[in-house]
Amino acid sequence: MLYRTIGKTGIKVSELGFGCMRLPVIDGVANKIDIPEATRMLRHSIDKGLNYVDTAYPYHGTGFDKGGESEPFVGQALQDGYRERVQLATKLPSWLITCRADMDKYLNDQLRRLQTDHIDFYLVHAINKGFWQNLISHDLFGFLDEALADGRIRYAGFSFHDDLQTFKTVVDAYNWSFCQIQYNYLDESYQAGRAGLDYAAERELGVIVMEPLRGGALTRNLPEQVSKRFATSGWNRTPAEWALRWLYNDPRISLILSGMTTMEQVEENLQISSQAEANSFSEAEEMVMRDAQAVFHERIKVQCTACGYCMPCPAGVDIPKNFQMYNSYFLLDEIAQVSTRFQYNAQVSEATRASNCVKCGKCETHCPQQIKIIDELENVKAVFDKK
């Protein structure tokens, strides 16, 4: 396992971090974690040298207004000496803050749920313009100062989903130790993007990358041109390895969070992170990735990462699944599009289809990608309701 330093903290962490948002579940139910298998995966990763574990208050839950099952799972899985071997990260649910006291309430509850007396890396979760102004009005900085001083948290940071100017405003507002941004070879100009990475690195912030594989979209159903470009490149690599190596090549990235669902994914990620060094890409490898980027940018319709923040939908629509099928439709040729329509009818039940959207807008208030979900679901309906 290769290691890097998180900015000015001086803390060395494994290049690969274990993200606990997409753990294996039972019968496809988000809040029913397959505890034995998930524990096996997490502990195996730690035994192999991984030392950064990331979770959050709502992960593996039934909605964003209450705690999910991810934090309690992590707290239990890190027993038997594993807690002392990792840097533990979780996040303040910024959308639930209505007063200063809420911040202490959630942090103290998270410490209990995680069975620990401190959080090593504590993030203000999913900052955007609206959440930011509300947090500031309720003395966010006073809360962070106090939590750092009394030892409940070791380092303060934030995860981010908004535009570049907002990112710069947040970076400059407090003495952060690190930040977490969505970044991959499709998202160089999206949200904080490469310019945000530059800005954070110049200020010695550690930069943690989430969604390195775009919720798995960069590993499956790739456009034929991309698959062929990888296959004829001269390197024997999976799509996941290409995507991860492209990120590891940048020395300013402290670590990459991967939401792993199977042991096979764990093993592949561990192998890649034990070999991928910074500044190791050749010009030929860079050209392969630029070619892949160009194809994707032409075809992807909805910038959805399948994070699930929009769920559950009051009308029962499986929003991520609908967008996944919609994007897949446009990544394929005309003959395969017929098959995709068939797959949509087979894989998306009538109760969860885009046509059931009632335009309540609840999903849009939680979408970190700021997708106009109501409009896009209409587009999905137009494609898949064709006879």
Q: Are residues 224 and 335 in the same domain?
A: no
Nearest alpha carbon to residue 304 among 372, 378, 255? 372
Residue-wise pLDDT tens digits, 298-316: 888 998 988 889 999 999 9
Q: Answer yes or no: is 99 within a domain.
A: yes
Residue-wise pLDDT tens digits, 203-246: 999 999 999 998 887 888 788 899 999 999 999 999 999 999 99
Distance CA 309, CA 91 (A): 14
Task: Out of 221, 256, 282, pick the residue that ends a domain.
Answer: 282
Q: Are residues 241 and 340 in the same domain?
A: no
Q: Are residues 98 and 188 in the same domain?
A: yes
Q: Are residues 132 and 226 in the same domain?
A: yes
Task: Out of 259, 282, 305, pick the residue that ends a domain.
Answer: 282
Q: Answer yes or no: is 307 within a domain.
A: no
Q: Answer yes or no: is 160 within a domain.
A: yes
User: Rounded to two decimals, what is the model's pTM?
Assistant: 0.85
Q: Are residues 277 and 324 in the same domain?
A: no
Nearest alpha carbon to residue 246 among 177, 194, 178? 194
Give the per-residue pLDDT at 335.
60
Q: Answer yes or no: is 300 within a domain.
A: no
Main-chain dihedrals φ then ψ at residue 283, nearest 5 degrees? -60, -35
Q: Are residues 338 and 268 in the same domain?
A: no
Distance CA 347, CA 361 (A): 25
Measured at the alpha carbon of residue 150, what is the angle toward residues 148 and 157, in degrees to the nearest 5? 15
Measured at the alpha carbon of residue 8, what is the angle toward residues 180 and 82, in degrees to the nearest 5? 65
Q: Answer yes or no: is 298 within a domain.
A: no
Q: Are residues 266 and 345 in the same domain?
A: no
Q: Residue 80 belongs to what domain range?
A: 3-282
Beta strands in the chain (DSSP E): 3-5, 12-14, 16-19, 52-54, 87-92, 119-127, 153-160, 178-182, 206-210, 255-258
Distance CA 91, CA 75 (A): 14
Q: Are residues 245 and 377 in the same domain?
A: no
Q: Are 270 and 245 in contact (CB under 8 A)?
A: no
Structurally, how many domains does the chain consist of? 2
Token pair listed for 220:
């499956």
CATH of the domain at 62: 3.20.20.100
Token pair listed for 340:
């995709």
HEC per residue, 208-222 = EEECCCHHHCCCCCC
Give the per-residue pLDDT at 42.
98
Q: Are residues 354 and 274 in the same domain?
A: no
| DSSP character string of 292-315 | HHHHHHHH---------TTPSPTT
The more confidently predicted of residues 162 and 315 is 315
Residue 156 has pLDDT above 90, yes or no: yes
Measured at the alpha carbon of residue 351, what is the angle toward residues 348 and 354, in degrees to the nearest 5? 65
